[in-house]
Structure 1
Amino acid sequence: MKLLHVTRCWAVIAGLALAVTAQAQEQTLSETGVIAGTMEIDFKTRTELDTAGTYADGSSALGAKDTYILKLTVAKTTEFSGKITRQPDLFTKIIRSQKQKAELGFDINLAVRNPRNLDERRNVGKWVGTVPINTATGAFEISGGASLESPLRIAIDAIGQQPAFTDKFGGKLIGKSKKDEGLASYTYKRLVGNKTFEIKVAKIDPMKFVDLELAKGPAGNYPRTVVNGRLDFDYETGNWLTDGIRFRYNFNGKEVEDIVTGSVKWVEDENRKTNGKGEYQFNLRWNEAKQAKDTTEAAAFDKLSDEDAFFAVDDSLPCLTGKISYEDKFISGEETPASSKVTYALNSNKLTKTQIVNFFKLWLIGTGPINDE
């Protein structure tokens, strides 16, 4: 009888251990439209210009701002709606006195849907604040809004069993330089199965993340995350490439590091000059180096060139694919967009909600540099 009792006890303990392990492991999503919705961009700094000659040549009018109005859903249960604004530095023409400082402004409403019943929706708080921009260095001072009494933050109300909390963003993003000098060549590598493909890019401009801290939220289960690494812009093709953006966070008491690699390829419609259409095609992979040794799909790419294989989608790995489509209206007589209608249609393969939300937050913080062209 004692033996039977001990056996049952161990069975119960084993069952509890399995339950704890299952709880500690976040489920993955393979879902079409995991990031979906629209953004409308009005580049007023390009269309509302200083006509009095008060400011440096080519300056926008005082108070003119680019606006990014967004309505986006992430993993079907989290909604981001509102706007981001961007204003430039303004200096007087004669004595170079600064009359306006460059900055981003965030005013985004946050809502969640019940995973068990998506018809149940609740507004839970805001993503708000100011990000000063040092245009001399290209640095977006993510925590710099505190000195303006407007720190960039996620502020969540107490609703249901969710307690109220406020968490601030921090660190730096170094944007594109817009200067030809200092642009360097770089070789990017991608491992598919047991085969390495590489491409060399002649002129890249890195957007760097330096201890960039993503605030937790909108729900309390999305942890505070620190990001380092770079997403590089290729001026010749309009592509973005990275050999490693590192996301570090704590999930259920366990330290996690996700390394994102891959490309976001710019593809223009053959009639773009008249219809303004183009799209970013996503091919980003999570923890590629750890996963690749377990795959044998390299043979499928053997007949492709290194460049074609590099950009090919391998959905045997955790990845973010799909596209962000642009329909631009150009300034008369130019190829510079005056406004853009943007449609998000991104898909996840074997990604957790934390991984998806972390990437989405980072992408929104880079709104200015990413949509500059």
Structure 2
Amino acid sequence: MSKTRLISAVACLFAALAAPAALAQAPNRATTEIPADKAKVSGSIVVDYNTRSERSQSSQDVYDMGEIAIADLMLMRGSIARVPNSNVTYSIRFDVVNPQNPSQIAREVAILRGDLPIASGGRYNPEEGKLRLDIVKGNQVSSRFTGSIQGREVVKWWDVARRLKTASKEASKVYSRYVDGKVVSIQVKNPDPLRFERLGLASGPFSFLVESRVSGILDYDYELGNWLTDQTGVTFTYNIGEKVYSDKVTGSIRYVSENGEFTDSKGKKRKFTSYYDYNLRVNEPPVNKDNAFFGGDASQADSDAFFSASDQTKPGIYGRVYYLDSDTACKQVRDDTGAFKCVGPTRSEITYDLKPVGLTYQQLANWMKLELLVIGPFTDE
């Protein structure tokens, strides 16, 4: 056998071994805590908002995912095409890392593909678009996304002024969390929720990464641009063997608008114009309901304490997702004062620099799959 054919044969053998069905002998890896030195999410996405540009006639915004590395588990590459308020089309390829030898990577073992239709009321319906995760190497199987997401009511900044005026006349929602052993609360006027309604996340690309059901709410604060959870949180429920697991994610993703520079996972210096600061906890004890009634006057001190990510010892997801935005040739719309303003960036370079702490492989995979489904709302503003 020639050297080329031998290498090809070895590659094919590893692809088969790395495919989900062949890894069924290690089902407990799903509940294994990710080693601290491997616990990270890094990589980048470049978004061209063609629908916002005067120079483009395209009806689609395109998300080009260079490569997102998820711990020592898998890598995602590909593209997402989005027609705002209409449809999202996925073509994301998964490479998987050999758990016995992390230096070995099986390429394009699985593909996330299909559509995520958006109904007129803002509801995302993956079943209608046959959104699925297909295993295309080894034992080929297909797992579909099910359920729905009720999207935000307002997705354009020029509607926000009206929303805030309405919100000022409505009751505030109080959010509470433990900070240094104390309950800290803030109030948000009429937040806009993403509601996960029996959303089913497809299994894979490894067999030990099982299907999960998602329920709960992720609220958006128009005034400050933050994402928050209430005490209900966002809950992921799944079965491994005969055991049922239920993980609740609570906390915040705080928006910060400032210019700066950071070093990416490859040691390259990059600029940013804003970032999201992650402070999400997994299975944190709930705040006493009586204590949550007090405080929360939205003062700067309360707000700073609530969003503080100084304590990163508890199980959760921390770190930042950086944005480098540009608004070259952006379309113009009148704001509430009558002045013309840019509808938003026409291009964004998004860089992940997240650190999971104390999470299992299943827990991290669940969150990252969910982020893929809400990438539109996360990048609307």
Q: TM-score, normalised by structure 2?
A: 0.75
One-letter amino acid of the counterpart of residue 325, structure 1:
Y
The 10-residue stretch of structure 1 (337-346 or 33-42) with the greater mean CA deviation from structure 2: 33-42
Q: Secondary structure at the match of 1:217?
A: coil
Question: 1:28: which partner in 2?
Answer: 33
SS at match of 2:346: strand
> Would you say the 8 A contact 2:236–2:248 is kept in 1?
yes
Q: Which amino acid aligns with 1:348?
A: P
Give the aligned partner of residue 64 of structure 1.
59
Q: Which residue of 2 aligns with 1:76?
A: 72
Which residue is equivalent to 1:211? 198
Distance in 1 (CA, whole Å) between partners of 2:241 and 2:197 is: 25
The DSSP-based 3-state class of the residue aligned with 2:285 is helix
1:44 matched to 2:43? The reply is no
Structure 1 or 2, whichever has the larger Rg, is 1
CA contact (8 A) 2:149 2:194 kept: yes
SS at match of 1:357: helix
Change (3 A) 1:32 1:309: farther
The DSSP-based 3-state class of the residue aligned with 1:351 is: coil
Measured in 1, the distance between the counterparts of 2:243 and 2:121 equals: 36
% identical aligned pairs = 33
Amino acid at match of 2:244: E
Match of 1:128 in 2: 113
Q: 2:315 aligns with which of 318, 328, 340?
A: 318
Q: 1:133 Cα deviation (Å)?
A: 0.6
Mapped pair 1:236 → 2:237 = no
Measure how far apart 1:76 and its partner are. Answer: 2.5
**Counterpart residue type for residue 304 of structure 2:** D
Opposite residue 171 of structure 1, the aligned amino acid is: G
Shift of 1:23: 4.8
Which residue identity does 1:353 align to in structure 2?
Y
Given the alignment, which residue of 186, 202, 211 partners 2:173?
186
Q: Is the 8 A contact 1:276 1:329 kept in 2?
A: no
Tell me the alpha carbon deviations over residues 279-334 of structure 1, each in whole angstroms, 9 at most, x when there is no partner: 00000000111799xxxxxxxxxxx9332221122223101000000000114473
Match of residue 166, structure 1, among 136, 139, 142: 142
User: Relative to 1, partners in 2 of residues 1:360 and 1:291: Cα closer, same or farther, differing over 3 Å?
Assistant: farther
Secondary structure of the residue aligned to 1:129 is: strand
How far 1:192 moved relative to its partner? Answer: 3.9
**Which residue number in structure 2 is paired with residue 354 of structure 1?**
362
Tell me what 1:98 maps to: none
Counterpart among 205, 208, 212 of residue 225 in structure 1: 212
Q: What number of residue pairs does the alignment pair up?
A: 307
For 1:246 and 1:167, the matched residues in 2 are separated by 20
8 Å contact kept, 1:40–1:69 = yes
Deviation at 1:33, TM superposition (A): 6.0
Tell me the SS of whatever aligns to 1:337: coil
1:203-262 alpha-carbon deviations (Å, 9 max, x no partner): 411111111100001111111000011111111111111120010001232100000000
**Which residue pairs with 2:8 in the alignment?**
none
Kept after mapping to 2: 8 A contact 1:24/1:252 = no
Amino acid at match of 1:125: A
Q: Kindly indicate which of the two structures has a greater share of residues assigned to strand.
A: 1
1:269 matches 2:251: no
Contact 1:284 1:321 in 2 (8 A): yes
Q: Distance in 2 between matches of 1:270 and 1:133?
A: 34
- Counterpart in the other structure of 1:257: 246
- Indicate the SS of the match to 1:305: helix
Cα distance in 2 for partners of 1:143, 1:253 equals 27
Q: CA RMSD in A?
A: 2.6
Q: 2:133 aligns with which of 134, 142, 154?
A: 154
